[in-house]
Chain A
Amino acid sequence: MSITTHRPLPTQIREIQLELEEVAAGYGLDFFETVFEMVDYEEMSMLAAFGGFPIRYPHWRFGAEFDELTKGYSYGLQKIYEMVINTDPCYAYLLNANELIDQKLVIAHVYGHCDFFKCNAWFSKTNRRMLDQMANHAARVNRYVERYGYETVERFVDACLSLDDLIDPYLPHIRRRPAEQTRPERSLDRDRDEDGNDGSGKFAAKDYLDPYVNPPDVLREQSEKRREKQKQAEESRSFPERPERDVLLFLLEHAPLKEWQRDVLAIVRDEAYYFAPQGQTKIMNEGWASYWHSTIMTKHALTDAEIIDFADHHSGTMATSPTRLNPYKLGIELFRDIEERWDKGQFGPEWEECDDLETKRKWDKQLGLGREKIFEVRRVHNDITFIDTFLTPEFCAKHQMFSFAYNDVTDYYQIASRQFPEVKRQLLDNLTNHGRPFIYVKDGNHANRGELYLLHDYSGVELRQDYARDCLINLQALWGRPVHIETVSDDMPTVLSYDGHAHEVAVK
């Protein structure tokens, strides 16, 4: 496998790497050892298709991606300059056809990414030995392919992939469920209901007021209701107790799968969790890397002759378009904005409360805290908290940001607002769960018939119906029994169902 065997870098590139590594470390960037390799465009496309890894399990979608990338390159439509993967040591691939100036820029950019991978809290739980893990996954899937046949496994992988974003991206950082041992204690508490009342439902009151504060017939009614509820709870065989966000985990634990199927599902889930933080920090990660390539290049690495090419490449990367926010651009500008504000002391209550524009414009306390602040920001934030905390009305206006919305009469997206609260809300909306629907398992024993009942937490945007139906088919293939999803369709609460033979749509 030629890709994994290490090929020494050309001396010239190696020298640049050493030089830039020193500069980067001098700025306080903290990264794992970084191994650069030069690859041609085919190899680059292959790595990119595989999500950065030299070996993945067999699946046609990697071929599709590869096809698109190589075509895009040979038609001159697009070019991947570089790829970095989040492992320890960090592997980075450089395109051997890059101009020397591009290599410099890209190497500087890579060190930004490496620092981010190592230091950002959202990556703290990722497996840094993912290279081995991916190869291991590939070996396992290959074994199942040999035993059960290519198409059988492929069909199953397809079904899993169709659900692979139904995970709980915060799971690695939070303990959602009580650990097993705590259960007995909870059962001791059973006499008390959730509000902590003693069970009679009585409010404390003086004797003479008691009949008024706690009218006997209401008390009776309430205790009846409570008994009813308790009876229902005891009779019900519904689970889980609370809606479960990690649908894949729920399927792993409760779906009637064969051993190999369970393993394939676990592999798909594992990889989804590995890639999740990259999606959660796209703006920050690209912004941070761009901030550093720009800083290092302009202050250290550029020669006079290279400045035009650098500017051309840099501006190409930063280009914006009306419908797609460029994460590179948004990220780098926000980091620069934060740096400037903390350098000048434009933060805190005093700044917030000041409503004199002129004073604000000239505000400069010469604190020089900017650099320190952005390092802190890159450590603790993800895209959502980053935008939530640091997007300011001034920033929005300066960068001409607007929100747009779909108009179902004209079938066009139209500019909806330039007001800061609206722009910010829309941006956060798009970032929250990557703008995808929130879906939970509500009941694994729906109607006491072992049917799976999912809940789409509707927040104003409806599901794409054709895709939702196809997902239900795949879900049913895994679950075995009929599956349902509660959602909203044409402004009506609706349940979509699939029982293995036919779809059903019921207005709830």
Chain B
Amino acid sequence: MTRPIDQNLDRFRKIVKGKVRQNLRKYVNHGEMLGRRGREVVSIPVPNVDIPRFRHGNKGSGGVGQGEGELGQPVGRGGEQGDGPGQAGSEAGRHIREVELTLDELAEILSEELELPNIEPKGKDAIRSVKDRYTSIRQQGPNSLRHFKRTFKRALKRQIASSEYDPSNPVIVPVKDDERFRSWKTVQEPQANAAIVYMMDVSGSMTDDQKEIVRIESFWIDTWLRKQYDGIERRYVVHDAVAHEVDEDTFYRTRESGGTRISSAYKACRRIIERDFPPDEWNLYCFQFSDGDNWGEDNDDCLGLLAESILPVCNLFCYGQVESPYGSGDFIRELQRIQEDWENIVLSEIESKDAIYDSIKQFLGTGR
């Protein structure tokens, strides 16, 4: 049956995909929908199209909220406020609730939205592990596996059917036939280990906004890869002219300055791989984020290192270049030169927050 909404829905999808009305493409936005994971709020990429209206900008705006907090404490970022904070809408009366999400669900949503393919893990045939999963029910089994609820229900049913059940004295006595037990199935699972090495340029030219982009993007990459592999190891490298291996927290917070030598990060990456992740046992993913402003004479070193010790061993090498108001952004052109020789290298330019989802799609859309 066609519904009155179908025509509109169809039209909307065409607009989002850019098949019609290309001038509306610039109003397509992502991530208005919010889910919550623990205490963290995550936004889920659901495309919508804005209609431009006369609106107030951020500057000089404000609102009213409720709760604890000292004066001056930040309550939200600019730009995230959509229609302006604390707004009463003109929609008819609706009743909406937010629900919590698990990481797995997030990953599923992500894959659905971005149409990401599942990854074929390396070493799938070689390494298998056997696992028991308690997913079914049997009539026999040890008492320790007795399924109390099912047993009770069957007993209750039987007693009601045979009119033994007395509501004023609701005693249920299960007999042998009522008993049900949990049971297992043995499943073979591919044992796949994966490791991610994140590298970020923290030279003076990277601003907070750009680091925010890196943070969001790595969150989603993490979420996705975690769904694909059982265990996942992560390593973080920050670099300016020299590289340091750091922990996750530092990775997102450091602010350093100075020149840029990308080869230093590659050397650190090589060290980590050699030390922790023998390539024949691990699926390796390298993600590098930079504004592409490398020291000119360093470029040849970089390409050499990549070709010798990184690209041959990793599933995927992704380079994301965030647009910088200062940098020249040359480095991506250097990598483009070797892109043809290596099929596991993916390059992406991330101009703004809105481009993050496209970039994730580029990175992970290869299914490697």
Asked if A59 is an interface residue, CB under 8 A from chain B, the answer is yes
Asked if A362 is an interface residue, CB under 8 A from chain B, the answer is no
Taking a contact as CB atoms under 8 Å apart, the answer to whether A413 and B86 are in contact is: no
Task: Enumerate chain A residues within 8 angstroms of B4, measured Cβ to Cβ.
Answer: 1, 46, 50, 54-56
Taking a contact as CB atoms under 8 Å apart, the answer to whether A71 and B33 are in contact is: yes
Taking a contact as CB atoms under 8 Å apart, the answer to whether A322 and B93 are in contact is: no
Taking a contact as CB atoms under 8 Å apart, the answer to whether A86 and B92 are in contact is: yes
Task: Enumerate chain B residues within 8 angstroms of A82, measured Cβ to Cβ.
Answer: 93-95
Task: Enumerate chain B residues within 8 angstroms of A434, measured Cβ to Cβ.
Answer: 87-88, 90
Chain A 390-447 interface residues, beta-carbon cutoff 8 Å to B: 399-406, 408, 410-418, 423, 426-427, 429-431, 434-437, 439
Task: Enumerate chain A residues within 8 angstroms of B73, measured Cβ to Cβ.
Answer: 414-415
Taking a contact as CB atoms under 8 Å apart, the answer to whether A413 and B57 are in contact is: no
Asked if A84 is an interface residue, CB under 8 A from chain B, the answer is yes
Partner of A467, one of B15, B55, B92: B55
Interface digits, B66-105 against A, CB 8 Å rule (1 contact, 0 not)? 1111111111111101001111111111111111010001
Asked if B128 is an interface residue, CB under 8 A from chain A, the answer is no
Taking a contact as CB atoms under 8 Å apart, the answer to whether A436 and B93 are in contact is: no
Taking a contact as CB atoms under 8 Å apart, the answer to whether B49 and A78 are in contact is: no
Taking a contact as CB atoms under 8 Å apart, the answer to whether A325 and B64 are in contact is: yes
Asked if B12 is an interface residue, CB under 8 A from chain A, the answer is yes
Chain B 121-176 interface residues, beta-carbon cutoff 8 Å to A: none
Taking a contact as CB atoms under 8 Å apart, the answer to whether A461 and B57 are in contact is: yes
Task: Enumerate chain A residues within 8 angstroms of B91, measured Cβ to Cβ.
Answer: 51, 275, 278
Name A113's closest neighbour in chain B (CB-CB).
Answer: B93
User: A282 to B105, alpha carbons, bound, how many Å?
Assistant: 33
Taking a contact as CB atoms under 8 Å apart, the answer to whether A435 and B66 are in contact is: no
Asked if B48 is an interface residue, CB under 8 A from chain A, the answer is yes
Partner of A415, one of B13, B69, B96, B97: B69
Asked if A478 is an interface residue, CB under 8 A from chain B, the answer is no
Taking a contact as CB atoms under 8 Å apart, the answer to whether A49 and B53 are in contact is: no
Task: Enumerate chain B residues within 8 angstroms of A417, measured Cβ to Cβ.
Answer: 71
| Contact (A60, B90) CB under 8 Å given A75-B44, A415-B69, A456-B54 | no
Task: Enumerate chain B residues within 8 angstroms of A67, measured Cβ to Cβ.
Answer: 9, 12-13, 46, 48
Chain A 65-108 interface residues, beta-carbon cutoff 8 Å to B: 66-68, 71-72, 75-86, 106
Which of A66, A322, A400, A439 is most buried by chain B, counting CB atoms within 10 A of its CB?
A322
| Contact (A275, B90) CB under 8 Å given A404-B64, A439-B54 | yes
| Contact (A76, B101) CB under 8 Å given A48-B94, A58-B7, A325-B63 | yes
User: A271 to B219, alpha carbons, bound, how many Å?
Assistant: 42
Asked if A276 is an interface residue, CB under 8 A from chain B, the answer is yes
Chain B 300-338 interface residues, beta-carbon cutoff 8 Å to A: none
Taking a contact as CB atoms under 8 Å apart, the answer to whether A463 and B55 are in contact is: yes
Partner of B54, one of A86, A166, A405: A166
Interface stretch, picked from A6-14, A172-180, A468-476, A497-505, is: A468-476
Task: Enumerate chain B residues within 8 angstroms of A200, measured Cβ to Cβ.
Answer: none
Taking a contact as CB atoms under 8 Å apart, the answer to whether B74 and A413 are in contact is: yes
Asked if A317 is an interface residue, CB under 8 A from chain B, the answer is yes
Task: Enumerate chain B residues within 8 angstroms of A58, measured Cβ to Cβ.
Answer: 7-8, 11
Interface digits, B2-41 against A, CB 8 Å rule (1 contact, 0 not)? 0111011111110100001100100000001111000000
Taking a contact as CB atoms under 8 Å apart, the answer to whether B13 and A323 are in contact is: no
Size of interface on B: residues with Cβ below 8 Å to A: 72
| Contact (A282, B88) CB under 8 Å given A60-B12, A109-B95 | yes
Taking a contact as CB atoms under 8 Å apart, the answer to whether B84 and A460 are in contact is: no
Taking a contact as CB atoms under 8 Å apart, the answer to whether B63 and A71 are in contact is: no
| Contact (A403, B62) CB under 8 Å given A82-B93, A84-B93 | yes
Q: Shortest CB–CB separation between residue B33 and chain A, in angstroms?
A: 6
Q: Shortest CB–CB separation between residue B320 and chain A, in angstroms?
A: 22
User: A359 to B101, alpha carbons, bound, how many Å?
Assistant: 50
Taking a contact as CB atoms under 8 Å apart, the answer to whether A404 and B93 are in contact is: no
Partner of B52, one of A86, A322, A404, A470: A470
| Contact (A285, B93) CB under 8 Å given A63-B12, A72-B33 | yes
Q: Shortest CB–CB separation between residue A35 and chain B, in angstroms?
A: 15
Chain B 222-267 interface residues, beta-carbon cutoff 8 Å to A: none
Size of interface on A: residues with Cβ below 8 Å to B: 112
Taking a contact as CB atoms under 8 Å apart, the answer to whether A468 and B75 are in contact is: no
Asked if A133 is an interface residue, CB under 8 A from chain B, the answer is no
Chain A 458-493 interface residues, beta-carbon cutoff 8 Å to B: 460-468, 470-471, 474
Residues of A contacting B: mostly = mixed
Task: Enumerate chain A residues within 8 angstroms of B64, measured Cβ to Cβ.
Answer: 325, 401-404, 423, 426-427, 430
Task: Enumerate chain B residues within 8 angstroms of A317, measured Cβ to Cβ.
Answer: 95, 97
Name A423's closest neighbour in chain B (CB-CB).
Answer: B64
Which of B3, B65, B74, B81 is most buried by chain A, counting CB atoms within 10 A of its CB?
B65
Q: Shortest CB–CB separation between residue A251 and chain B, in angstroms?
A: 14
Asked if B51 is an interface residue, CB under 8 A from chain A, the answer is yes
Asked if A370 is an interface residue, CB under 8 A from chain B, the answer is no
Name A281's closest neighbour in chain B (CB-CB).
Answer: B88
Task: Enumerate chain B residues within 8 angstroms of A470, measured Cβ to Cβ.
Answer: 52
Asked if B187 is an interface residue, CB under 8 A from chain A, the answer is no
Interface stretch, picked from A156-164, A217-225, A236-244, A334-342, is: A156-164
Taking a contact as CB atoms under 8 Å apart, the answer to whether B68 and A400 are in contact is: yes
Q: Shortest CB–CB separation between residue A145 and chain B, in angstroms?
A: 10
Taking a contact as CB atoms under 8 Å apart, the answer to whether A405 and B62 are in contact is: yes
Taking a contact as CB atoms under 8 Å apart, the answer to whether A83 and B94 are in contact is: yes
Which of B10, B73, B75 is most buried by chain A, counting CB atoms within 10 A of its CB?
B75
Asked if B272 is an interface residue, CB under 8 A from chain A, the answer is no
Name B79's closest neighbour in chain A (CB-CB).
Answer: A411
Taking a contact as CB atoms under 8 Å apart, the answer to whether B8 and A411 are in contact is: no
Task: Enumerate chain A residues within 8 angstroms of B85, measured Cβ to Cβ.
Answer: 323-324, 404, 413, 430
Task: Enumerate chain B residues within 8 angstroms of A399, measured Cβ to Cβ.
Answer: 66
User: A64 to B63, alpha carbons, bound, how many Å?
Assistant: 28
Taking a contact as CB atoms under 8 Å apart, the answer to whether A435 and B56 are in contact is: yes
Partner of A2, one of B1, B12, B74, B92: B1
Asked if A196 is an interface residue, CB under 8 A from chain B, the answer is no
Name A470's closest neighbour in chain B (CB-CB).
Answer: B52
Asked if B61 is an interface residue, CB under 8 A from chain A, the answer is yes
| Contact (A415, B70) CB under 8 Å given A46-B3, A84-B93 | yes
Task: Enumerate chain B residues within 8 angstroms of A430, measured Cβ to Cβ.
Answer: 62-64, 84-87
Asked if A286 is an interface residue, CB under 8 A from chain B, the answer is yes
Taking a contact as CB atoms under 8 Å apart, the answer to whether B72 and A403 are in contact is: no
Task: Enumerate chain A residues within 8 angstroms of B89, measured Cβ to Cβ.
Answer: 279, 282
Name A81's closest neighbour in chain B (CB-CB).
Answer: B95
Given contacts A163-B53, A278-B91, A404-B65, 16 further A-B contacts (CB under 8 A): A50-B5, A67-B46, A75-B109, A154-B21, A275-B92, A321-B67, A323-B85, A399-B66, A402-B66, A402-B69, A403-B65, A404-B75, A414-B73, A423-B64, A431-B88, A466-B52
Chain B residues within 8 Å of A, Cβ to Cβ: 1, 3-5, 7-13, 15, 20-21, 24, 32-35, 44, 46, 48-49, 51-79, 81, 84-99, 101, 105, 109
A-B contact pairs, 30 of them (CB 8 A): A50-B5, A56-B4, A63-B8, A63-B13, A71-B33, A71-B46, A77-B98, A79-B96, A83-B93, A106-B95, A151-B21, A158-B24, A289-B93, A321-B67, A323-B65, A323-B76, A323-B85, A324-B65, A324-B85, A383-B88, A399-B66, A402-B65, A411-B58, A417-B71, A430-B64, A434-B90, A436-B56, A464-B55, A464-B57, A467-B53
Chain A residues within 8 Å of B, Cβ to Cβ: 1-2, 42, 46, 48-52, 54-56, 58-64, 66-68, 71-72, 75-86, 106, 109, 113, 151, 154-155, 158, 161-166, 275-276, 278-279, 282-283, 285-286, 289, 316-317, 320-327, 329, 383, 399-406, 408, 410-418, 423, 426-427, 429-431, 434-437, 439, 456, 460-468, 470-471, 474
Nearest 9 Cβ contacts at the A-B interface: A279-B90, A63-B8, A63-B12, A282-B88, A470-B52, A63-B9, A405-B62, A412-B74, A81-B95
